[in-house]
Amino acid sequence: MARQPDTSITLILGGARSGKSRHGEALIAAHPPPWTYVATAEAWDDEMAARIALHRARRDTRWRTVESPRALAATLEAAGETPVLVDCLTLWLTNLILASEDVSAATEALLAVLAARRAPTVLVANEVGLGIVPEHRLGRDFRDAAGVLHQRIAARADRVLFMVAGLPMVVK
């Protein structure tokens, strides 16, 4: 009997430095390599470049890194049947907003590709809705857009985890 492909989708939410990326890497690494790491960050300054370098240094040659600050749906589609870690949805959303792209259309495209994927996918996102209400409208709009994005992805995901101090809590 042929084995069905693992098409699971896992959403990992949490605060800064909560262990989201490391846990996502471990979940993907439980599958046979090669693995694809979709990086959505852009190095706008030296500090961000250093963060990106630390993430890269932690991964060995079994990982293929694809930088995709905005074209996430197309990148996932191109990944084929390779297990994929997307790190992170929050930066992807930021990039879309700063480029004045249609967040709703990009989200719909992402959801359509996730539904069609024939390989495990782990998506990492920062939970930004637990803090104070942002002072500026752009911050409030971003927080609201992130909340809607997370809800849409969580509804489609097979599993949702919330990271606290490096420990995964199962939400779904």
Would you name the residues annotated as active-site residues? 55
3-state SS track over the chain: CCCCCCCCEEEEEECCCCCHHHHHHHHHHCCCCCEEEEECCCCCCHHHHHHHHHHHHHCCCCEEEEECCCCHHHHHHHCCCCCEEEECHHHHHHHHHHCCCCHHHHHHHHHHHHHHCCCCEEEEEECCCCCCCCCCHHHHHHHHHHHHHHHHHHHHCCEEEEEECCEEEECC
35 contacts 62 by C-beta, under 8 angstroms: yes
